[in-house]
Amino acid sequence: MILLSYNCNYKKSTPMKENKQLLVLTHLSQLLDFVSGIGGFVVPLILWLLKKDEVVGMDEHGKAILNFRVTMFIFILICIPFILFCGLGIAGLIVISVFYLVFPILNAIRANNNQPPSYPFSFKIF
């Protein structure tokens, strides 16, 4: 006896769109940290979760942003004991805040030029 099976569980494939402006906005939304505190993590996370299957490059750029954000948070946690015990952690926090300002802008430019994201010192978590 031959058994035939039919898979009814398929997703309708929608073509992915290219949206450089959304990629640029996702990178620049990290700068919301300087205004709201947590918005620089939440907004890119929401944009990535909602658009990673719809926009070309959003998955790659979103993962790079989240890896950068989590890595910098780990570095901040490492700096805190150094602030408490010897004050050297303040220099580390200054360097991290410069990274928070410079790298989103540089990667927004890279996204606008159709280049892959490049966040140095980031752990591959996602």
The overall pTM is greater than 0.85:
no
How far is Cα 107 from Cα 109, in angstroms, rounded to an integer?
Answer: 5
pLDDT band at 14 (very low <50, low <70, confident <90, very high): low
**What is the mean predicted confidence (pLDDT) over 65-92?**
93
Look at the block and give the residue holding tokens 């907004």. Answer: 43
Per-residue pLDDT of 23-35, as tens digits, reads 999 999 999 999 9
pLDDT recorded at residue 85? 86
Residues whose CB falls within 8 Å of the CB of residue 21, separated by 6 or more in sequence, listed in order: none
In contact, 58 and 49? CB cutoff 8 Å: no
Question: Where along the chain do its domains lie?
Answer: 20-110
pLDDT band at 2 (very low <50, low <70, confident <90, very high): low
Q: Provide the mean pLDDT of the chain.
A: 89
Q: Which residues pair with 22 in a beta bridge?
A: none
Sign of CA dihedral 51, 117, 23, 28: positive
- Greatest extent of the chain over all pairs of C-alpha atoms, in Å: 78
**What share of the chain in percent tops pLDDT 70?**
89
